[in-house]
Amino acid sequence: MMAEESVALSKDLEGSETSTPETPTVKVLEELLNTGRPSCNHADEVWPNLFIGDLAVAHNKEELRKHGITHILNAAHNACGSKGNQAFYGKEFCYHGIAADDFPDFDLSIYFRSASEYIHKALSVPNGKILVHCILGKSRSATLVLAYLMMHHNLSLAAAVERVLQSRAIFPNRGFLKQLQDLELKLRHKRKLCQLQ
């Protein structure tokens, strides 16, 4: 990679090139994330009937029953140590898996729509409750929940982050924050187009 490309990529990850007055930079988002709760449980309800959790709770069917979970969204499907699949959960829980890596260069945004639709569908079922998890419940799963809140509840990225931080410590990696920035810009553009029509 040439020096100019490296500098450009670094600036882009900081969010300076895609930042607008309405969309905070990655650095500002990271500062906001650092103001969150110092710790979290194995599962925390971050929106009505929507939980973010870790692998420990995802593998504990008794805990899932205690929380009333009906649906599972595993953002670490096929990851080392993850037992998650429909066969593991049987007929008691509905399962959806996304084989995502927690690396800044992994394109998680290609799953934003399908994950958001799955969450929305789960919450539309009478008494539906969903656990969105990855390994630690801080990056991949949190990113998908933030995308859902932005897409289905029209929250800004900053407002979605602040809402989740009220209940759980999260910290999406820099690449995922950049993808959420891009999502916010697309959603804002789409809303503007709709207003013009």
**Active site residue ranges:** 134
42 with 63: CB under 8 angstroms? yes
Whether the CB-CB separation of 133 and 93 falls below 8 Å is answered with no
DSSP state of 136: S
Structure tokens at 30: 């990271």
- Residues in contact with 101: Cβ distance below 8 Å, sequence separation at least 6, in sequence order: none
For residue 189, how far is the Cα from the chain centroid?
A: 21
Query: Where in the chain does DSSP place strands (E)?
Result: 43-47, 50-53, 71-74, 94-97, 130-133
Largest Cα separation within the chain, whole Å, is 55
β pairing state of 50-53 and 94-97: unpaired
Structure tokens that stand for 67 in this block: 């929380």
Where are any strands of DSSP class E within 49-175? Answer: 50-53, 71-74, 94-97, 130-133
